[in-house]
């Protein structure tokens, strides 16, 4: 969809809090001095790799879903990392919004499968950036260390082509399949996300971590243990 950006694409919101001092500081430190495309690329890699992907620590409270919270806690999942990328881009004058899709994930951990009872991950989040007169998708979820350790192809971003999940991993195993487009939004649609999660998942997403506590439910440890059996990271 190439509808032009509106003022909302640059505004600070409740969850894409681009006016937060920590967000502005991060943007200033990592954007560089190039044009919009160069700044967007620099910020993409900063968000992708500076914050560990961790779907075991999903917090659906407004505080937990806020972009600035990723800076505070040092980790996030697809939606919160996409919100952070949108926030830092807005802070540097680049119009940004969030896009969402349901994905069929062929590579999830046993803990997630037992909790969710499905391999469909609803409301996977990515960032939509207005660059050179067009919206370009950017998906900063999986940090490069995660990809290198577990045989995934890292998502690169050049500010021109869409950066979305690969259908296969390095070994040729099925990875991600997009099955439903949920649209684009100027802020995180938290109420809709929470309602869908409550409807389709057998137990709350927050129960994944609660099953073993923060120390007992380490995502990287679970993935490392299961990788040899052909499983890997979840969306």
pLDDT confidence of 201, banded at 50, 70, 90? confident
Contact 30, 88 (CB under 8 A): yes
How far is residue 202's CA from residue 214's CA, in Å, rounded to a whole number? 21
pLDDT of residue 225: 77
pLDDT of residue 215: 40
Q: Where are the beta strands (DSSP E) in the chain?
A: 52-53, 75-76, 96-105, 120-131, 134-138, 176-185
Stated pTM of the model: 0.91
pLDDT of residue 217: 52
Question: For the domain with range 7-227, which CATH number is right: 3.10.620.30, 3.40.630.10, 3.40.50.2000, 2.160.20.10?
Answer: 3.10.620.30
Query: Residue ranges of the domains in the chain?
Result: 7-227
pLDDT of residue 13: 98
Residue 229 has pLDDT above 50, yes or no: no
How far is residue 80's CA from residue 68's CA, in Å, rounded to a whole number? 9
Contact 27, 92 (CB under 8 A): yes
In tens, the pLDDT along 124-183 reads: 999 999 999 999 999 999 999 888 888 888 999 999 999 998 888 888 877 888 999 999
Residues 68-84, mean pLDDT to the nearest whole number: 97
């Amino acid at each position: 969809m190439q509808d032009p950006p509106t003022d909302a694409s640059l505004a600070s919101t409740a969850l894409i809090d681009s006016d937060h001092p920590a967000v502005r500081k991060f943007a200033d430190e990592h954007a560089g001095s190039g044009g919009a495309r160069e700044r967007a690329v620099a910020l993409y890699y900063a968000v992708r790799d500076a914050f560990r992907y961790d779907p075991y620590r999903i917090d659906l409270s407004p505080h937990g879903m806020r972009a600035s919270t990723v800076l505070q806690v040092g980790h996030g999942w697809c939606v919160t990392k996409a919100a952070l990328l949108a926030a830092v881009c807005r802070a540097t004058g680049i119009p940004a919004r969030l896009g969402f899709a349901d994905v069929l994930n062929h590579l999830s951990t046993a803990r997630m499968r037992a909790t969710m009872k499905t391999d469909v991950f609803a409301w996977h989040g990515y960032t939509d950036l207005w660059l050179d007169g067009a919206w370009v998708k950017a998906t900063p979820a999986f940090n490069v260390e995660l990809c290198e350790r577990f045989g995934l192809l890292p998502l690169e971003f050049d500010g021109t082509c869409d950066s979305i999940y690969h259908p296969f991993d390095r070994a040729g195993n099925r990875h991600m399949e997009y099955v439903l487009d949920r649209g684009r939004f100027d802020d995180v649609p938290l109420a809709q996300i929470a309602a869908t999660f409550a409807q389709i998942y057998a137990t709350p997403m927050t129960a994944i971590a609660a099953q073993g506590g923060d120390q007992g439910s380490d995502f990287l440890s679970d993935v490392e243990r299961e990788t040899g059996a052909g499983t890997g990271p979840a969306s």
